Amino acid sequence: MINQLIWSIGILTLTVLLFQLFKFIIPYLRSSQLLKYKTEDAYALITGATDGIGKAIALELANNGFNVIIHGRNVEKLKSVENEIMTKNTTCKVIHLLHDGSESSKMDISSIANLPINILVNNVGVGPISELTEMSNEEIDKTIMLNTTFPSQLTHDLIPFFKRPALILNMSSYAGLLPPPYLAIYAGTKAYNNAFSISLACELENIEVISLVTGSVNTGSNRKPVSLMRPSAETYAKCVLNRIGCGKQTIMPYWQHAIQTFLISILPQKFIDKVTKNALKKELATKGAI
């Protein structure tokens, strides 16, 4: 009787584990549904498109036949990205949106309101590493405005003009799921991005909304070398577009990040806190912050 009970518990546990493994794998095996949004003369708007992940996503969308609206706060960088896109995709139409989202959450979109926009990528954001008490009030305000208020306002203003079906990609971070020390403001904003995205996914009709939970990526602001757990921005952009139509409201586009985050999450919290605190302390010391 006891042996039968043990076997039953074992089989049930194995079944649950296999089901969870199946749920994890399936979204990464599904074919991308990106071209579902490639209607005639379709445009994609990408914020923070002058560097890193935003630039890589803009280039990848152009490679897939989309016209692009690239947002940034530096005219020269916008022109440089436009030239790079046009060199590789001569028929692509490129439009600039110049705006500093950390200074004002409201961006004038009157110049693009009548365009057939099918895709919005809320990518722009900053993540200053600092002790909270060492951050100025202005730096806190700017971080929150750029990371949360700006994409919220832009999404609100653009939705009525979307050509359906439409797609919204919101850039979140593992820091919003497992908040590390010295990133309190950034982690809080990324938790907001994830919740904002999931809520919209339930609310909107004929608009796919996905929260992209991002781990470490080699970009202009993260110069750590490319590795298995730290892809280049170009590799990450391809993974992002491959996850379109994955059937999930939130996903880590780079599956290695998902495994890494899962393994970290099962470790004792005190151990995680100690390791991350020591690692970020070293990074702060290198930058002369503490």
Residue labelled with tokens 């403001």 = 185
Whole-number Å distance between alpha carbons of 177 and 190 = 8
DSSP 254-287: SHHHHHHHHHHHTS-HHHHHHHHHHHHHHHHHHT
Answer whether 129's CB lies under 8 Å from 221's CB. no
Catalytic residue among 37, 190, 192, 236: 190
DSSP helix/strand/coil, 205: coil
Burial (Cβ within 10 Å: 0-12, 13-18, ≥19) of residue 76 = exposed
Amino acid letter, 243: R
28 as an active site residue: the answer is: no
Whole-number Å distance between alpha carbons of 255 and 232 = 14
Catalytic residue among 174, 186, 236, 254: 186
55 as an active site residue: the answer is: no
Q: Which residues are catalytic?
A: 186, 190
